[in-house]
A and B are shown apart, each in its own frame.
Chain A
């Protein structure tokens, strides 16, 4: 039982490059989330998808786009990476108002 799988685990980008972070869950959860974690800032919500076919902005959506490809998969895209997007990114999933299950995180560095 894999739970929530995120890829890649590490990535280094140059300013202006693009990339997509992939997330898949095998728990049949309705809701999926992307958070970023920065020192002293805790976990901040970037985007979420309450159910298949819907996406909504969170606290810090600027510079990101998301796609809920199907019930299992929720990807996060950086179209033009900036140094301010250097962070650790976590994908999570849940049934509505149940505990979140987190992936192992992606450490992204933008130079």
Chain B
């Protein structure tokens, strides 16, 4: 099983701040990189699936970039709101099923 690392582990920001998280994954045998949002007491929900080097995806105030050659992806949240508080998971697939990182827990303080 190949390691997927996420940083930071947790983050506290003020409402209105913009923030970003990092996901690092093995650059060999890359197939796809997924981002999920996981609210407390709910199930993870997919944000993005990215497959091509240089991919950029956007959904509202949330966007993500992908660098498969160096093995990292960034997730950006612009103008954080309290409802953005959640754990953000990334997951990598190569020639194995998805392997998840441990997540970044974001708390947005009003």
Contacts and interface: CB of A to CB of B under 8 A. Distances in A.
B49 A98 contact: yes
B22 to A, nearest CB: 15
User: Could you say which of B32, B43, B51, B93 has the most chain A C-beta atoms within 10 Å of its C-beta?
Assistant: B43
User: Could you say which of B31, B44, B91, B102 has the most chain A C-beta atoms within 10 Å of its C-beta?
Assistant: B44
User: Could you say which of B1, B31, B93 has the most chain A C-beta atoms within 10 Å of its C-beta?
Assistant: B1
Q: For this complex, into which size category does the number of interface residues on chain B fall?
A: 20 to 34
B109 interface: no
Interface in B17-37: 31-32, 34, 36
A100 B102 contact: no
A40 B102 contact: yes
A41 interface: yes
Interface residues of A, number: 23
A104 B103 CA distance: 18
Contact of A45 (B43, B99, B103): B99
A43 B49 contact: no
Contacts of B100: 35, 42-44
Contact of B102 (A41, A97, A98): A41
Contacts of A50: 97
